[in-house]
Structure 1
Amino acid sequence: MLNPAHIAFAAVCGHDMLPVRRRPRVTVLLTGSEVVEDGIPEPGQVRDAFGPQLPTFVELLGGSVDQVRRVEDTARAMLAALTEAPSGMASVLDARCEVVITTGGTGHSRADHVRSALEELGAVFLIDGLAQRPGHPTFLARLPEGGPFVVGLPGNPLAAMSSMLTIAEPLLAKLHGTPAPVPRTLPAGEELPGQKVTALVPAHLADGAVHPRDKVGSAMLRGLAHADVVAVVPPAGVAAGADVEVLPLPWR
């Protein structure tokens, strides 16, 4: 990673240009007809949790966001968002972006349209669902002919942010040519109950031990907002005092 000292050193050595690997270009497509972007939502509405934070999250993970667009909850709108160019912009397929991140609509119901749009375009699903909670409807696909990767995030905010750590972070690191953060192992300060699949639990550190936060449902953000790490709890759970793997948070 070039820093100011590297650039100054290159300059005094007479280098006018340096070959570099740039940050991966990312397009963010936000779905949700019920989402409002300001104020307190009315009944039947939800406040946008992705628009204010996802571009910065991508930057923290090494990506560079070129476009952020909101897409209606219809198959036609999602297909158009991937193939048509808004005024003054290139289409996603022509914008030379390397990663597309979508939010919501990743399930298999008639109300979920991201998969059907990608299937119509001939995308290959490299990872179709994760054995983790929250975030199990997440997928990783790639559009044909060397097109961009597509990271499909669930609509619930904690689920989506958890999958950013498990799917988007290593993908962006690979594209950027940098190593992904390495998980570490710490003792559990208390029992961490297991679930049917691996659980990602926001946790805080006290006296070198891992303690789970509360308010960690897939739609809740309070626990993550006050977390130091995310504990990776296997289905069998972790006894108090036993080692548990933790994922670092890029803003800590």
Structure 2
Amino acid sequence: MLRDVLIEEPVISFSDCIIQFYFFAVSGTLECLLLTVMSYDRYLAICKPLHYHLLMNHRFCWVTVFTSWTLSNFLNIITTSTIFQLQFCGPNKIDHFFCDLIPILKLSCSDTTIIQIALKSMIALLVVIPFCIVSVSYIYILVTIFEIPSNIGRKRAFSTCSSHLTVVSIYYGTLFCVYLIPSGGQSWNTSKFLSLLYTMVTPLMNPIIYSLRNKDFKKSVRKLISFSFSLAQH
């Protein structure tokens, strides 16, 4: 994708475009599932702290990660195979930064109505259900936090899930806007801009967001800011 952005008139073969979409879809699906597992981890840490190490053990982590990888690969193999069955005999220019599902289907001269309904249903299944699980987890978390008597305890409990909550809000917010809002509700340029948020901005911000509670990271940021100010003054 970065290569295509840098080249003025990028060219990609049909098979490469489908492969690019496959890996993009697998990564997106996997992140939805892993964010859901992480919300369960936060739920156990705050709502069931005495049972945390018993329930969130090494074996459970391996099983959930393996299941997420397997499920995301399996579902997207089905999705990709349906695209290979379409006929492409008209325009061959993709109006997007990368080979996403909607731009690919727009180029097909086959009737894509049934495929679009099936794929939209699968997207809703992979986005809506995990999002509902995350939402329910955080409802329980918020109820538990408000029941903590001390302000310090509430702040400490909220800080354990603030990073994950920030990533979930950015990621799911853009996914809902791009894939679940009807196409008439927003311009295509807006959809392309939103797609950049969860393909580039969110992965870029993830290490920073998850490191905000790290004391060494905060110390390094303060040093960097003070060094920048000293350079600006000179």
Shared fold, TM over 0.5: no
Question: Larger radius of gyration, structure 1 or 2?
Answer: 2
The normalised TM-score by structure 1 is: 0.23
The normalised TM-score by structure 2 is: 0.25
The one of the two structures with greater contact order (alpha-carbon pairs below 8 A, sep at least 6) is 2
Pick the structure with more helix per residue: 2
Pick the structure with more strand per residue: 1
